[in-house]
Amino acid sequence: MLKTTQKIAETQKHSSLDGMVREEIRSAIFSGELANGSHLSEIKLSKQYDVSRTPVREALAALCADGLVEMYPNRGAFVKMPDEQTQLQLTELYSFLMGLTARVASEKLSETDIARIERTINSMGNSTGMTFEDSRNELNHIISSIAANPPLVEMMSTVERRLPTPLFTPVTTNQQSMEMQQTYSYLLAAFKRSKSDTAEKAMRDVMRLSFTMAATFEEAGAA
């Protein structure tokens, strides 16, 4: 029994280290610290993160599955940053999946759910102690929870891991806040009328607007 407990603890420890290294490398890739095509040495990474080579190897395998690392026999692992076209396709796919989540949720909503969604939308940009991003994240979480569709959540997580974190840049102006709230209000109206098709379209519009704002923010920062 003791051996089993120790084995479970060791597995959890390795899993935790694997996740830590994975996120550190992922962050370095998207920040530009690790350039596209950079060689990822297991030895160097294990020294850098002060871990054994096992969690590094597992992290690289996971990043390879995410499409951020490419592994070659006898050569090792190399950074494979998604190109602009691929990232655009990924954002479109994420928008599609969020739209599908809204469609599924719209078929399960209770009056209590709708009231909670409305309160969250109304909190955007108000002095409620929550930032716009907090409200937006909370709203997306509520809708995903109502949909309660594990395969959808898994697919979205897969796409998220191939996109920069955070997915959406901060809403920095009142105009942006009002525009986002207006788009979310269309989603709320669709939920209230139990229009699943309209809810799906409204959520996809929300996602497109969010990613458009993110692209504009990046362009302004690069100028």
Mark whether 24 and 106 lie in a shared domain.
Answer: no
Q: Is residue 4 part of a domain?
A: no
- What total number of domains does the chain contain? 2
pLDDT along the chain (223 residues), means of 10: 34 64 91 92 93 92 93 93 88 94 96 95 70 86 94 91 78 82 94 96 92 63 46
pTM above 0.75? Answer: yes
Using N-to-C axis directions, what is the helix angle for 111-123 and 174-192, rounded to 10°? Answer: 170
Mark whether 67 and 106 lie in a shared domain.
Answer: no
Mark whether 29 and 122 lie in a shared domain.
Answer: no
Angle at 206 between CA 200 and CA 209, to 5 degrees: 140
**What residues make up the domain containing 31?**
11-79
**Phi/psi zone of residue 153: left (φ > 0), alpha (ψ -120 to 50 degrees), beta?**
alpha
Tokens 């309160």 -> residue: 119
